[in-house]
Amino acid sequence: MQKPTRPMPAGPSRRSFLTRSAAAGGMTLLGGAGIGEAMAAGDDNLPPNIPEWMQYLGEGVTAHPYGVPSAFEKDVVRRNVGWLTATEESSINFTPIQDLDGIITPNGLCFERHHGGVPVIDPERHRLMIHGLVDRPLIFTMDELMRFPSVSRIHFLECPANGGMEWKGAQMDGVQFSHGMVHCCEWTGVKLSTLLAEVGVQKAAKWLLAEGADAAAMTRSIPLAKAMDDIIVAYSQNGERIRPENGYPLRLLVPGWEGNVNIKWLRRIKLGDQPWHHREETSKYTDLMPDGKARQFTFVQEANSVITSPCPEKPMKFGKGFYEIRGIAWSGYGKIRKVDVSIDGGMNWKTAELQSPVLSRALTRFRLPLQWDGRPMLLQSRATDESGYVQPTIEALRAARGLNSIYHKNSIHTWRVKPDGEVENVQIA
Ligand SMILES: Nc1nc2c(c(=O)[nH]1)N[C@H]1C(S)=C(S)[C@@H](COP(=O)(O)O)O[C@H]1N2
Ligand SMILES: [Mo]
């Protein structure tokens, strides 16, 4: 047998064990294929035969100094929506949340949001300047920043535009696009409060301005109180240096607050006594209210949740029988306390199991076993966080915020499951 250099996915998929498992039945949850059946399937790679890939030596330890996913996982990728933005540099792509398990988003799959593309920054030549209402304005090298006492925290980061295309009705054909402007990583860095102690904050200081080193020179005003609380000046993401797309070599991580204040490619922090007026291009993250007024600052990403299996990309393909409903919940106010799941559009609710760890301002996994009788369902999830905040219905959110909004749409989401197991994105009254 010749040794393939790089195993490639097979063509049309092999017959699935699981689809045939119902027949094998018995007392087990799912059963499994009988040995006779497997032999009858005529695939030489099925047990009890020795498969191809046991008949050659695989690649050695020098083949991939930096590993990549299996070639069979080629469809697990970030995706963008062409019509959403005019350019690819000032644009966004989406995390494939339908394909992920647990609470950590792999670095290569974290959604990206840029206003001026991704700059190429040599960490040797990168500096962070802290000035304004401080006693000792200072400029830090990356080495100096990494010498400070460090922290590692797991937090979600969500663009406030997540779900924003659906204020007027369901329109995205998958959970990747309806909810994929979120990722959750373990961020390592130095607490901003540590750096502020180094420069000495003056009494009059109440706000800070953070500026990125990208072509957009994106800047944001952030209240100093948040900086003193839990903001991280981060250089690592899931154990390795931050990816260029996510802010290499340095970014702000502002736990639970809207994505746009998490300034990437961070180069400057200025302290002042009031918020700054931002340039048109970067100051659009205001919430337009029903009365036509705009809320300038809506920092917290309130509790949200969505079922990621089933979903349009993951239909209920085994027919009637056992499924585990799985999803993610998160809240900028703290920990998720509870997630309820409904299969009848919100008339009846069952409390799902939360998978540990349940961390503050982090994605939280929930799951609920279901014996599907094959009838249509309207699947929903509803998160409650430790502050007591309950994820609102779309009607409640519209009543409070109207139809003019783009940002902060965290309403209960509905999937319609059809008898053939296909899943559609719908909004129900
Ligand atoms: N310098 C800079 N920082 C930035 C942005 C940017 O365009 N430039 N985009 C912001 C927005 S709107 C979001 S939602 C988050 C996205 O972070 P991510 O790309 O790591 O997912 O970064 C924020 N920080
Ligand atoms: Mo954003």
Check if 268 has its Cβ closer than 6 Å to any atom of ligand 1. Answer: no
pLDDT given at position 22: 43
Cα(291) to ligand 1 centroid in Å equals 29
Question: Same fold for the domain at 79-287 and the one at 304-426?
Answer: no
Please name the residue whose Cα sits nearest to atom 16 of ligand 1: 113
pLDDT band at 15 (very low <50, low <70, confident <90, very high): very low
Q: Indicate the top mutation candidate among 91, 254, 260 to test ligand 1's pocket, ranked by most ligand atoms within 8 A of CB.
A: 260
Question: Which pLDDT tens digit goes with each residue over 58-72?
Answer: 999 999 999 999 999
Q: How far is CA 82 from CA 86, 87, 91, 155, 254, in A?
A: 8, 9, 9, 29, 29
Residue ranges per domain, the chain?
79-287, 304-426
**Mean pLDDT computed over 386-390:** 97
Cα(92) to ligand 2 centroid in Å equals 8
Check if 260 has its Cβ closer than 6 Å to any atom of ligand 1. Answer: yes
Give the residue, 384 or 40, on which the prediction is more confident: 384
The fold for domain 304-426 equals Immunoglobulin-like (2.60.40)
pLDDT band at 318 (very low <50, low <70, confident <90, very high): very high
Give the residue, 283 or 262, on which the prediction is more confident: 262
Please name the residue whose Cα sits nearest to atom 5 of ligand 1: 114
**Mean pLDDT computed over 250-270:** 98
Check if 211 has its Cβ closer than 6 Å to any atom of ligand 1. Answer: no
Check if 216 has its Cβ closer than 6 Å to any atom of ligand 1. Answer: yes
pLDDT over 60 at 48, yes or no: yes
Ligand nearest to C-alpha 111:
1
Give the residue, 31 or 320, on which the prediction is more confident: 320
Check if 372 has its Cβ closer than 6 Å to any atom of ligand 1. Answer: no
Check if 111 has its Cβ closer than 6 Å to any atom of ligand 1. Answer: yes
Q: Which CATH architecture has domain 79-287?
A: Alpha-Beta Complex (3.90)
Please name the residue whose Cα sits nearest to atom 11 of ligand 1: 260
**Mean pLDDT computed over 202-207:** 98
Q: Which of 13-22, 78-87, 133-142, 401-410 has the highest mean pLDDT?
A: 133-142
CA atoms within 13 A on the CB side of 219: 16
